[in-house]
Structure 1
Amino acid sequence: MHVTGTTLQQRHKKTSIVLALASGISIFAGMTAPAHALTLMDILRGGPGAGRAGQSDNGLPGVGSGRSAMPSERSLADPEPLPKVSGPRYYTYKPDAERAVKTAGFAASSAADASRLLAEAKISAPADIAAALEAFYGKTAQPIWVSDGDINEKAKGVLALFERAADYGLETTDYRLSPPTLTTASVADPAASGSPVVTSDASPASPADGHDRALMQFELALSAKVLTFAQDMLRGRIDPNRISGYHDFKRKDVNLSLVLPFAEKGTDAAAYLEGLAPQSAHFQALKAELATLRAEAIDNGPQVSLPDNLLLKPGKSSPDMAGIIAAIQHTGSDALKTKHAATLASYQQTPDYTPELVEVVKTFQAEVGLKPDGVIGAATVRKMIGHTSKDRIGKVVVAMEQARWLPNDLGQRYVFINQPAFQVYYHDRGVEQFSMRVVVGSRSNQTYFFQDQIETVEFNPYWGVPQSIIINEMLPHLRQDPNYLDRLGYEVSVNGRAVSSSSVDWYGSTQNVSVRQPPSSDNALGDLKILFPNSHAIYMHDTPSKSFFQRDMRALSHGCVRLAEPRKMAAAVMGTTIEDINARIAAGQNVAAKVPAKIPVYVSYFTAWPNKDGKVEFFDDVYGRDEAMLKAFAATTKVRAAQI
């Protein structure tokens, strides 16, 4: 980026003259922006259409809507292609790479036939599983799962546990293994067993010898499955960072070297493995919900059909009114049905949306977290129809997997943001103290999924404009009007030196250009921000755009988390009062205060999650991440099926 003088001004002046001659109007007046375009004041106010009265259509004081709708004029005004900064992407999931287990060293541990035959077994496994097998069987002479020429009770207990893997949100077929059998028929005729007899130069082939070899193959295969199961119980099947660039977790380390020795020495290997499941209250609530959903004989899904574009206001009528009441009776709570029992019992399938029915709908909306205004729109219809049992089961399985990415103990004091719920929850002394609505990133500017630690509350903050916003959203205006940021009161610097917006060559690189908005009533961050430094530049903050919190779908920001009650959250994490927070803001100074205690923050993404009463609630998959998870599960199962 270069700071220029007369040459740059002449360049822009010439561009303006050409435009004026071509269009007969000023380039800064009367132009029409695309309906979907975001402007800078949209950013400040919270999103499209949030400008204040008295401003131009795009919310920019003194500026029209920017580029002309005519392609020829756009090319004249902006002869160089506009750069774009793209966000992270979703990946095609690739499961752990595998290699052959090196069994040659197993025979050296003992001269016993079992070790000799084990050395001839052939399986593949991920590198860490393979290494654990090699380390264990390189030292151990005796099998774990085979005794007296057959699989033992310890092995049978583990196989029975694997059949219940789905209870823990895992995939049963990932661990299923059939034990070898030696029948009378196979002794008389090896071909009758349907399994080939393995031969070697050291030992002549026989049915019994083939069975022993199969047992050792089973021994090694079961140990590989046991290690996989233990690892999955503790950290999950999926590496979150292979899902998308929006996932950011250090995958948990599992000490696999302890698993097989525990299984060998203990009397009940199945109980040991089952005990590895997360014991947290949220995981146990998800597990119980999964069992309930699977045990239900009827589908929890939609029993009625309602149009997606339904819009019904109080006092109006609709032929879908009967379906609305039927849907509420199916998905509404027992408390709702008790409260409005008389109204529901007397309803005669009429199309009129009467005041009594409005009250039923308002109660329903309040129960499901919607604005209780009685207006039946798309969001209310989605809640009325609900999710099918299959959908709910999928959401719970995904949630159980993702819960394994988090610490088993979230802490006594922490902040939990759940993006699909558009809510943040503050916990202290192990109990939820309060929750509030939030606005999270839009689908094109998604909020990441990660955990961190709150460090600072900044009062009367500056807003350091990210490069993505400078390039994607400010640059089109700056190329037409280099004074754009100066007029809006923004501070611009190049290589740390303050300059005027008009002196910057906005046709060059913006790499060394910094833009920030000083503290003010219009500041995009409002009165404060709560920081947990991370590589994604995500934090919680206030906003001058309060109306967004009244919306049901609140994926509207550029990625940061906007708080409905920022002063309440700041007081909680600072361990002080709201009055104290008010006083610090009223002082008018830009001050960063360190949080006095370590407070984890979980910027999470769960479409199924238990509330403070332990009841699992379900949310829409706003970013489509559940779908990506289900594809990753399928890819993992496919690879595991080919391991043995």
Structure 2
Amino acid sequence: MKFLGNKATVMPLAVVTVMLTFGVPQADAQGLFERLFGGGIRRAPQGDFPPPPKHRPKPKEFAGGGTRINSPSYYTYKADRLVRVDFATLMAAPQPVAPQDAAFVPSLTSDAFRDAIAGLGDYELYAEPDIANALIAYYSANPDFIWVTGTGPNGRAQDAVRVLSEATSYGLTPADYLVEVPAASASTGGADARLKGFVRFEMALSARVLRYVHDAQSGRVDPNRITGYYDFPAKPLDMEGVLKTLARTQQVRTYLESRHPQNAEYQALRVELESLQASAEDEIVVDPKLLLKPGQTSPELPKLLAKIARNLDDEIGGAYGETLARLATSEVYDPELVPIIKAVQKKAGMKGDGVIGPRTVAALVGTSKADKIQKVQVALEQLRWLPSDLGSPRVFINQPAFTASYIENGEEKLKTRAVIGKTTNQTSFFYDQVEQVDFHPYWGVPQSILVNEMLPRLRRDPGYLDRAGYEVVNARGKRIPSSSVNWGAYGAKIPYGVRQLPSEANALGELKILFPNKHAIYMHDTPQKSFFQRDMRALSHGCVRLQDPRGMAAAVLGTSVDYVAEKLKHGHSTEKVTRTIQVYVAYFTAWPDMSGKVEYFSDVYDRDTRLQQALDSTEAVRSPAS
């Protein structure tokens, strides 16, 4: 698998020293700091795939004067409109209008195909623009049927129609690929009418097969058009090549099924979807957004208590069974119920705080069947944005689960709690490659934090950074006192770089793990260890904090925790990762564990809802299609 992007270049210490001493003319200070000390190089991916569209948020005025750097936004998704396929080219030139495909071999039906083209004159077939173009290009160079042989649809067509009709099992919508199969030759209407029906069937099935292959490989929506937090390279698809392959193979089912992601996670989600669709709905459904503190009232409480009573074990039942039975119908969160909630929270691996919130409901009640189905369908769609082979070894960060894992040879060798970005500083969804580990790192302060959080204070107290363990450099890379800068003269674009020196108070803790990307996101340690004890851990500025950073560093470096500990004894240093290790900064509210059991998580950023809106927009465009 090929991963994208320019990778960070490690500069020799002498070069860095010269740059800082003599300056870098015309250099941007923040860009220089990000390359030398910061959280990744801001760059657009390069390689086989074109880069996703860039999103540059506009500065916004805020109270008190000045400007503010905004986070990426969410967009109103608009699906591309379908176009009517223009068959005029085929009708005007029955012989190939372009150099005929060198591999094209006319069949016994090729003459019938040329005769049948006249039946496309008033045919209204709508398709995506690239599919419409591919149809004309392919059949101009290969004027023959793929799906019709002799007097009717052939075996290829029958296999293709069956596969398209089974789209539900992949979380897709069969209506998107619906094709009306013409009657057999024995039907009435005459030879001309049958031929006209066959050529229309040919074009419709090819159009819908191409749509299916595209959806299976890349998904139904373009994720980069949903939000600036999504960053995925396009997956090129040679549509003419797809039709050529289908014209020459009898293994249509095998080919079409191979267009889907070929990884164990995708298969586990498909099995889960099939199981859910065959199962009965739980008769007790609790509002997943319930928030209830002691003394408050909610009609959802009796349902929650009924679910708890149903799953009581001997320990909790023995201690609280009588209380639970006596207050089973109470809509008031009585203080007597608090110890019960705390006990079941702790049993579920949560912090026993007695507050009933969405995570407590999800842990104690589970997710409704309808919600589970939607989460699985969303997860299947999102997996189609990723490489078919996820790779080994790999690091997988699942934001809604607040976990980061190191996986190698099908085994999860490390799983640690993680802290992700706050809802106002969300962590992006993308993939890249792990490149290096920095021990006792510097922290290059991002412009967004410098402008949004530090600048108001610096206007009042210019020497704050000098006293707090930070260094300031100008655009030439020269260190200057923070107190010498007129911070009040700048808004969203500050021509200075700021970094925090290695220390116990450093925001990155004792190490960081880099996979340079334009979002400046990486994994790192943190001095705020208490955050890992919380159940809801969307608490950072966007980077991923690890509870076990030494374990992850040892894993990606292919060494031991003792080795990492020894490196940390010797101050600031950097070590390159010599293997190819994919890293997925992912967002799945339904995800299988290594045994294949699917777990469900809260939609902390409400992204499932926005993806569903994009899917609905796509369905609305496709539904009128013939």
Which category describes the TM-score, using the shorter chain as reference length? 0.7 to 0.9
- 8 Å CA contact 1:530, 1:540 repeated in 2: yes
Give the structure 2 partner of residue 108 of structure 1.
Answer: 95
Give the structure 2 partner of residue 508 of structure 1.
Answer: 489
Deviation sequence 1:412-431 (CA, Å, 0-9, x none): 21110000000001112221
Give the structure 1 partner of residue 415 of structure 2.
Answer: 435
Q: Please tell me whether residue 607 in structure 1 is matched to residue 589 in structure 2.
A: yes
Deviation at 1:182, TM superposition (A): 9.2
Give the structure 1 partner of residue 13 of structure 2.
Answer: none
Decide which structure has the larger Cα Rg and report it: 1
Q: Please tell me whether residue 236 in structure 1 is matched to residue 219 in structure 2.
A: yes
Distance 1:466 1:178 in 2: 57
Q: Please tell me whether residue 415 in structure 1 is matched to residue 402 in structure 2.
A: no
Write the mapping of 1:456-471 to structure 2, written as runs, cut at 5 A. Answer: 456-471=436-451
Deviation at 1:311, TM superposition (A): 4.2
| TM-score, length of structure 1 as denominator length | 0.76
Write the mapping of 1:64-213 to structure 2, written as runs, cut at 5 A. Answer: 81-96=65-80, 98-106=82-90, 107-109=94-96, 112-118=114-120, 121-180=123-182, 187=189, 209-213=192-196
Deviation sequence 1:75-101 (CA, Å, 0-9, x none): 8xx5xx121000111112132454443
Match 2:265 to one of 274, 279, 282: 282
What is the DSSP-based 3-state SS (H/G/I as helix, E as strand, rest coil) of the residue aligned with 1:451? strand
% identical aligned pairs: 43
What is the DSSP-based 3-state SS (H/G/I as helix, E as strand, rest coil) of the residue aligned with 1:263? helix
Match 2:600 to one of 611, 618, 643: 618
Distance 1:176 1:539 in 2: 44
Deviation at 1:505, TM superposition (A): 1.8
Give the structure 1 partner of residue 434 of structure 2.
Answer: 454
Letter aligned with residue 469 of structure 1: I
Match 1:444 to one of 419, 424, 437: 424
Letter aligned with residue 487 of structure 2: W
Q: Please tell me whether residue 524 in structure 1 is matched to residue 503 in structure 2.
A: no
Deviation at 1:360, TM superposition (A): 5.7
Deviation at 1:214, TM superposition (A): 3.7
Deviation at 1:169, TM superposition (A): 1.3
What is the DSSP-based 3-state SS (H/G/I as helix, E as strand, rest coil) of the residue aligned with 2:67? coil
Give the structure 1 partner of residue 210 of structure 2.
Answer: 227
Structure 2: any 5+ residue segments left out of the alignment? Answer: 1-61, 97-109, 328-334
Q: Please tell me whether residue 596 in structure 1 is matched to residue 578 in structure 2.
A: yes
Distance 1:307 1:147 in 2: 60
Deviation at 1:130, TM superposition (A): 2.4
Q: Please tell me whether residue 641 in structure 1 is matched to residue 623 in structure 2.
A: yes
Change (3 A) 1:345 1:445: closer
Deviation sequence 1:469-524 (CA, Å, 0-9, x none): 11111111111121222221211122122222122121223431111111111111
Letter aligned with residue 71 of structure 2: G
Change (3 A) 1:564 1:129: same
Distance 1:525 1:292 in 2: 43
Deviation sequence 1:539-560 (CA, Å, 0-9, x none): 0011111111111111111000
| Higher mean C-alpha deviation, range 575-584 or range 554-563 | 575-584
Distance 1:85 1:349 in 2: 54
What is the DSSP-based 3-state SS (H/G/I as helix, E as strand, rest coil) of the residue aligned with 2:326? coil
- 8 Å CA contact 1:321, 1:349 repeated in 2: no
Letter aligned with residue 634 of structure 1: D
Deviation at 1:303, TM superposition (A): 5.9
Letter aligned with residue 283 of structure 1: Y
- 8 Å CA contact 1:417, 1:423 repeated in 2: yes
- 8 Å CA contact 1:442, 1:555 repeated in 2: yes
Give the structure 1 partner of residue 12 of structure 2.
Answer: none
Letter aligned with residue 529 of structure 2: K
Match 1:534 to one of 517, 524, 529: 517
Give the structure 2 partner of residue 556 of structure 1.
Answer: 539
What is the DSSP-based 3-state SS (H/G/I as helix, E as strand, rest coil) of the residue aligned with 1:432? strand
Distance 1:410 1:245 in 2: 23
Deviation at 1:374, TM superposition (A): 6.8
Deviation at 1:339, TM superposition (A): 7.6
Deviation at 1:224, TM superposition (A): 0.4
Give the structure 2 partner of residue 475 of structure 1.
Answer: 455
What is the DSSP-based 3-state SS (H/G/I as helix, E as strand, rest coil) of the residue aligned with 1:444? coil
Letter aligned with residue 349 of structure 1: A
- 8 Å CA contact 2:392, 2:582 repeated in 1: no
Change (3 A) 1:276 1:344: farther
- 8 Å CA contact 1:173, 1:637 repeated in 2: no
Give the structure 1 partner of residue 467 of structure 2.
Answer: 487
- 8 Å CA contact 2:226, 2:611 repeated in 1: yes
Letter aligned with residue 423 of structure 1: T
Write the mapping of 1:246-257 to structure 2, written as runs, cut at 5 A. Answer: 246-257=229-240
- 8 Å CA contact 2:260, 2:384 repeated in 1: no
Change (3 A) 1:625 1:208: same
- 8 Å CA contact 1:611, 1:617 repeated in 2: yes
- 8 Å CA contact 1:328, 1:364 repeated in 2: no
- 8 Å CA contact 1:84, 1:472 repeated in 2: yes
Change (3 A) 1:363 1:493: closer
* Number of residue pairs the alignment of both structures matches: 536
What is the DSSP-based 3-state SS (H/G/I as helix, E as strand, rest coil) of the residue aligned with 1:138? helix
Give the structure 2 partner of residue 57 of structure 1.
Answer: none
Q: CA RMSD in A?
A: 3.2
Structure 1: any 5+ residue segments left out of the alignment? Answer: 1-73, 188-206, 313-317
| Higher mean C-alpha deviation, range 445-454 or range 321-330 | 321-330
Distance 2:249 2:186 in 1: 33
- 8 Å CA contact 1:115, 1:142 repeated in 2: no
Distance 1:307 1:275 in 2: 42
Change (3 A) 1:225 1:503: same
| TM-score, length of structure 2 as denominator length | 0.78
- 8 Å CA contact 2:348, 2:364 repeated in 1: no
What is the DSSP-based 3-state SS (H/G/I as helix, E as strand, rest coil) of the residue aligned with 1:349? helix
Greater relative CO, 1 or 2 (CA 8 Å, sep 6+):
2
